[in-house]
Structure 1
Amino acid sequence: MKGLTFVSACAIALGGVSLSENVNASEQFVTIGTGGQTGVYYVAGQSICRFVNRAGADIKCNAPASGGGVANVNGLRSGEYNFGIMQSDHQYKALNGVAPFQNSGDMDNIRSVFSLQSEVFTILARKDANATQLDELKGKRVNIGNPGSGQRDTFEQIMKEKGWEPSVFSLVSDLKPAEQASAMSDNNIDAMSYFVGHPNGAIQEASTTTDAVLVAVTGPEIDKLLADKAYFTKAVIPGGMYRGNPDDVPSIGGKAVLSTTAETDPELVYQLVKSVFDNLDRFKRLHPAFNHLSEEEMMQAGLSAPLHEGAVRYYKERGWM
């Protein structure tokens, strides 16, 4: 079965633990690609695994930190991951083989499992950079995100819409999410970016240790992007969520989506979905970004690829389809 590792192989890798030591030889190991440890993707993956591992279905789930949504698409393609969390636009782009996946072709076997939290493309700038609008970032030191991350792909898409080359900034960095806050507080960058659910730990850290303001992502080019790309929606970062930012700040957003491939065992997908939805109230308490999740939205909102048959089986069993 693609992507599944049985305990015998893992035992060898972990130092020779033998099957005779009360280990179930039929146990399946499943891996979920997440994101940086400061982001909601990581919390989501860890939370899903928490309920899968408690369900007693002979499935052991792990959710390591990864490069983010683009890296998770590539991990699904290669079989490194059984599941991956990604922005709704990346699911669409993978399905249709468009940038940044144009060299890999259509991924017609990508499948939706359910959507998660709403996400907002977020730019935070040092107050002394005097940048509260997107155009005011020109000439500044900006972190556009690490390769393979959702924020980098989105930032590059916005730059393309605006006709910007990297040279419009005095410095372009590709720091990982966990590195951004310290870089801002050390005055090594003027602005950081993140496509993430709120509240977010990295944004909270940066705005606590540095006088910083959220940058409005608006303008005619953004309006055109929203009109052309249905997977993006208007979004707002609520005022008062972060120190020094009392007012709502507009931007663009989308949904985080748990994806897999058509080849993933339907029973495995069914058991994962069941373990989450049977415990949805408890799941929602594991991060503030999950507070507004609902069964109806999770089955529909932001899903730009067909549902996996294992997920459909559970939703029909519950009478939701």
Structure 2
Amino acid sequence: MKKGLLFSIALVAAMMMCLSPAMARTKFVTIGTGGITGVYYPTGGAIAKMVNKKKKEYGIRATVESTGGSVFNINAVMNGDLEFGIAQSDRQYQAVHGLAEWKDKGPQKDLRAVFSIHPESVTLVAAIDSGVKSIKDLKGKKVNIGNPGSGQRQNAIDALEAVGIDINKDIQAESIKASEAASLLQDGRIDAFFYTVGHPSGAIKEATSGARKVLIADVAGPGIDKLLAKYPYYAKAIIPIKLYPGAKNDKDVQTFGVKATLITSAKVPDEVVYAITKEVFDNFEAFKKLHPAYGTLTKEKMLEGLSAPIHPGALKYYKEVGLMK
């Protein structure tokens, strides 16, 4: 009995000795994304897939996590719960400068940028029977502005305040995840919802394809122009209505938007960030084909909209290929 026990212990120890070097060589990283019907989740999946193809070369195993969005991802990266996260460019700016949700915490000095990805438009979807044709018509309506911790929530608040609408007094504000808003709109439980997203979007297609007729409302006007002049991370955007044949629009939608960006921490090793950057840029044409929202991407545009310092691992790659000096 005793000999058998000793043999078992010795066998387990030998197995651990054999496995330990391989396990030590593999670095496990997680990319925080967003809801599974948005663009963040497949974006994170595409990046992870590219890196995992060369797992033996880099010793990196990447996984993707569906999360509450930009604010959650930034905080999780700063806390060390995630190695990477996708976040809106405005949220990156606010975290770096200690604004909005980071006002009490102060500037997030360890936040690092890797690259930007696709443009994201502030999208306002409204039911025809609600009478909403533009953002100014939302007074008195039941509107989903997004869950706490999502970038779109602040975008919605900024847009509403810019046109003189108080979210606490003038509308019935709901705080539901964007992935759930389309079904709520179709069920008649809300009149409209905001979603900051790349287009085409599965959630917007769902919202515009149901029995309840909807349109995508303009988020534009003098108030919005002032908003864009105030904040450098906002820019005008157009949503091509041909992407949503079910929407009852007769022309493209005027709105504004931000960019989706990949962020990390200064504490993540240079070689890990370098590998992820290299795989995306070296396989740029393949990456562009992974989602229609990437259609207008160029390598140069992927270095725009970054407020945080660029991580040294990413910077090394950009200098090697001449994208930065």
Q: Tell me if TM exceeds 0.5.
A: yes
Distance 1:181 1:295 in 2: 33
| Contact residue 139 and residue 165 of structure 2 kept, 8 A | no
Distance 1:167 1:313 in 2: 47
3-state SS, counterpart of residue 175 of structure 1 = coil
Matched residues, number: 304
Distance 1:179 1:201 in 2: 12
Aligned to 2:323: 320
Moved more, 27-36 or 164-173: 164-173
How far off is 1:181 after superposition?
1.1
| Contact residue 141 and residue 169 of structure 1 kept, 8 A | no
5 Å-filtered alignment, 1:142-161, equals 142-161=143-162
One-letter amino acid matched to 1:298? M
Aligned to 1:252: 256
Aligned to 2:75: 74
Cα RMSD for the two superposed structures: 1.7
Aligned to 1:7: none
Distance 2:125 2:216 in 1: 4
Moved more, 243-252 or 47-56: 243-252
Distance 1:106 1:72 in 2: 16
One-letter amino acid matched to 1:47? A
Aligned to 2:190: 189
| Contact residue 138 and residue 171 of structure 2 kept, 8 A | no
Q: Which runs of 4+ in 1 moved over 4 A?
A: 17-23
Of 281, 286, 290, which aligns to 1:282?
286
Aligned to 1:43: 42
In the superposition, the TM-score normalised over structure 2's length comes to 0.89
1:139 and 1:48, CA in 2 relative to 1: closer, same or farther beyond 3 A? Answer: same
How far off is 1:23 after superposition?
8.5
5 Å-filtered alignment, 1:70-149, equals 70-149=71-150
Structure with the larger helix share: 2
5 Å-filtered alignment, 1:1-40, equals 24-25=22-23, 26-40=25-39
Aligned to 2:10: none
| Contact residue 100 and residue 153 of structure 1 kept, 8 A | no
Question: 2:274 aligned with 1:270, yes or no?
Answer: yes
Aligned to 2:305: 302
In structure 1, the gaps of 5 or more residues are: 1-16
How far off is 1:277 after superposition?
1.1
In structure 2, the gaps of 5 or more residues are: 1-14
| Contact residue 231 and residue 254 of structure 1 kept, 8 A | yes
Q: Percent identity?
A: 44
Moved more, 243-252 or 92-101: 243-252
Question: 2:209 aligned with 1:211, yes or no?
Answer: no
3-state SS, counterpart of residue 242 of structure 2 = coil
| Contact residue 127 and residue 212 of structure 1 kept, 8 A | yes
Moved more, 168-177 or 86-95: 168-177
| Contact residue 37 and residue 202 of structure 2 kept, 8 A | yes
Of 236, 240, 253, which aligns to 2:238?
236
How far off is 1:65 after superposition?
0.5
How far off is 1:102 after superposition?
0.6
How far off is 1:130 after superposition?
1.1
How far off is 1:219 after superposition?
2.1
> Greater Rg, structure 1 or structure 2?
2
3-state SS, counterpart of residue 93 of structure 1 = helix
How far off is 1:46 after superposition?
0.7
One-letter amino acid matched to 1:213? L
Aligned to 1:11: none
Can you list the C-alpha shifts for 1:149-196, whole angstroms capped at 9, x where unaligned?
Answer: 111111122233344332444522111122111101111111011000
Moved more, 257-266 or 163-172: 163-172
Distance 1:317 1:82 in 2: 24
5 Å-filtered alignment, 1:160-179, equals 160-179=161-180
How far off is 1:254 after superposition?
1.3
Moved more, 39-48 or 168-177: 168-177
